[in-house]
Amino acid sequence: MPLAAKTAQQRHLGAIRGAYVSFMPFIIVGSILLVISSFPNQTYQQFMSQAFGESWSAIIEIPFNAVFSTMSLFISFLVAYRLAEHYGEDRISCGILALVAFLILTPFIKVAEQGGITVMPVEWIGSKGLFVR
């Protein structure tokens, strides 16, 4: 059996693939909105500013930021959800358990440079948190 076929049949890799496939529409919509708001053409930027106001770019980037700032939460839930499908377990409770485990293991307290404490920085629940250091 070829290596690619063997890896495609592996349950855990299939669950990761299924999670990303389920989340892909949100990634596509967020990416398209980012391209619309950051298109590198000065004439386009001026036209959009005149048509929709000066803050049009910031408004369009809100869905992009929402998608990519919460990506790890959704992916951690969806990986467990898809893996529970393979094992025939309760999908919702497995997804919630994985989400809670992710939140417990995520470093939410960070000491600031001035010595203060920043409570619950959200940098680890975004796409950066998919690959924990």
pLDDT in tens, 61-76: 899 999 988 999 999 9
How confident is the prediction for the chain on average, in pLDDT?
Answer: 87
Residue 31 has pLDDT above 70, yes or no: yes
Give residue 99's pLDDT: 94
Cα–Cα distances in Å, from 98 out to 10, 65, 76, 104?
20, 23, 6, 10
What average pLDDT does this structure show over 26-53? 90
Give residue 119's pLDDT: 61
Regarding pTM above 0.75, the answer is yes
Report CA 32 to chain centroid distance, whole Å.
15
At 124, list the tokens.
Answer: 């680890």
Map out the domains of the chain as residue ranges: 3-105
Instruction: Return the DSSP state at 110.
Output: E
